[in-house]
């Protein structure tokens, strides 16, 4: 294990506690659907490039009746960043040492009427320290009410801290979750933020509120859609849309690249890929 200072320990504890609460909420949805599906947790350890212990994490995956495949991962890693990649990381150009802790979640749903979702929040330290993350909704069959409710809840979390956050972070999500070679957005957006520096407690409080907002709104959206009937045509739309989702995560997603470049657990990094997808 790597040694943590009080700020690092507090961030790790929050991400792990949020993971536990999200998993419990998702398992409760499965129970309501008559399923006994539960998360399977697999701890993993990381060795830094120097050969020293480099932290690790826990991969959590559930495959159920409502959640066709959902991963909720936590990790806390540290050590040194390698070569050219290290120089691309905020604050690591002159000193390759880093620390990162966070939660990452992707849910792919059995019913095409239930939107898939992505959420992650994280705390990183190089020669600088910052929080980042966000949440975005990814429906194969968009519903205006779901999109509006999701954005409204994230706006409320943002407005409690700074009225400028929501428009800024919404635009950041729109710009980031875009597939240039397809010229389409990955979903209906949400918020995305990075390099949120300044006072630790203030940035940490905002990051916690993003997690609370997600836990408040997404299970509610799942429950309102999970029993709707769907057609083979709906399923075909969902699977083609999943192909676009996979393309984004493999080609453009910075979190995927960071995990691979820092020696993370491959299964945990690629848990974002859908269980079934099509390319026509």
Detail the DSSP E strand segments found in 31-96.
Answer: 40-47, 53-62, 67-80
Question: CA 37, 64, 248 angle in degrees (round to 5)?
Answer: 135
Active site residue 118: yes
**Residues linked to residue 16 through DSSP beta bridges, in sequence order:** none
Give the residue from 7, 258, 4 showing the smallest Cα distance to 133: 258
Give the residue from 254, 258, 255, 249 showing the smallest Cα distance to 277: 249
Give the residue from 1, 64, 75 showing the smallest Cα distance to 30: 64
Contact 168, 95 (CB under 8 A): no
From residue 47, how far is each of 44, 57, 95, 125, 248 by CA, in Å? 10, 12, 19, 18, 28
Q: Which tokens hold the place of 101?
A: 């802790």
Q: What are phi and psi of 184, to 5 degrees?
A: -140, 155
Detail the DSSP E strand segments found in the chain.
Answer: 40-47, 53-62, 67-80, 97-109, 116-125, 129-138, 178-179, 184-185, 189-196
Sheet with 97-109, side-by-side order of all strands: 40-47, 53-62, 67-80, 97-109, 116-125, 129-138, 189-196
Catalytic, out of 108, 118, 151, 185:
118
State how far the Cα of 15 lies from the Cα of 85, in Å rounded to an integer: 26
- Please list the active-site residues: 118
């Amino acid at each position: 294990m790597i040694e943590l200072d009080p700020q690092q320990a507090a961030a790790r504890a929050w991400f792990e506690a949020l993971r536990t609460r999200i998993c419990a909420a998702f398992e409760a949805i499965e129970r309501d659907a008559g399923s006994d599906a539960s998360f399977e947790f697999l701890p993993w350890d990381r060795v830094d490039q120097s050969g020293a212990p480099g932290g690790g994490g826990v991969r959590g995956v559930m495959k159920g009746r409502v959640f066709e495949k959902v991963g909720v991962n936590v990790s806390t890693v540290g050590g040194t960043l390698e070569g050219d990649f290290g120089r691309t990381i905020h604050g690591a150009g002159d000193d390759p040492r880093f620390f990162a802790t966070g939660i990452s979640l992707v849910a792919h749903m059995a019913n095409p009427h239930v939107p898939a979702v992505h959420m992650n929040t994280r705390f990183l330290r190089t020669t600088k320290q910052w929080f980042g993350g966000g949440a975005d909704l990814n429906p194969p069959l968009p519903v205006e009410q779901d999109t509006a409710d999701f954005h409204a809840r994230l706006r409320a979390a943002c407005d409690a801290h700074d009225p400028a956050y929501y428009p800024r972070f919404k635009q950041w999500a729109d710009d980031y979750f875009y597939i240039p070679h397809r010229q389409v957005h990955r979903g209906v957006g949400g918020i995305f933020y990075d390099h949120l520096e300044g006072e630790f407690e203030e940035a940490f409080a905002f990051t916690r509120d993003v997690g609370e907002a997600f836990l408040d709104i997404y299970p509610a959206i799942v429950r309102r859609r999970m029993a709707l009937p769907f057609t083979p045509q709906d399923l075909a739309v969902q699977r083609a849309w999943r192909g676009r989702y996979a393309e984004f995560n493999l080609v453009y997603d910075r979190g995927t690249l960071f995990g691979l470049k820092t020696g993370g657990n491959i299964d945990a990094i690629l848990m974002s890929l859908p269980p079934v997808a099509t390319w026509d």
